[in-house]
Amino acid sequence: MVDRIVSVVSGVVTGIAAISLLVGAIGILTIMWIVVQERVSEIGLAKAIGATRRQILTWYLFESALVALAGGIAGLLIGIAGAWLLAQTVPGIQSLTSPLMIIEAIAMALGVGIGAGVAPAMKAARMDPVEALRTE
């Protein structure tokens, strides 16, 4: 009976995590689209003084990875604190967060952030410097 309950709870938590990752990816994608739109003249200026497509692409992918990393670390800290609090208030429940779990969570956050930032970064990298500077 306990195994069934644990498997159901595990399935629900996995579903919630998947939905959270999707929502996070959409949020990062939206933020990066807005960032690219707000920095059109900055991108145009960078390209006009010699920045390559690869540099612009890397710039925005790094930024989206940084946003995802910050969110991933915050979520990880909140999750660890919640597990600790649960272990303190419910008798018989133990909280264990392995280093591998932490590494996997950070890697997943980075993967989602970079994946969500690809389209906006490509848009920024493809901008024509003359057109970008003209929009100012």
pLDDT tier at 136, thresholds 50, 70, 90: low
Where in the chain are the domains? 2-134
Q: Is the pTM of this model over 0.85?
A: no
Q: Stretch 106-118: mean pLDDT, rounded?
A: 94
Q: Is 19 helix (H, G, I), strand (E, B) or coil?
A: helix
How does pLDDT run across 37-57, given as a tens digit for each residue? 999 999 999 998 999 999 999
How does pLDDT run across 67-92, given as a tens digit for each residue? 999 999 999 999 899 988 988 898 88
pLDDT over 90 (residue 129): no
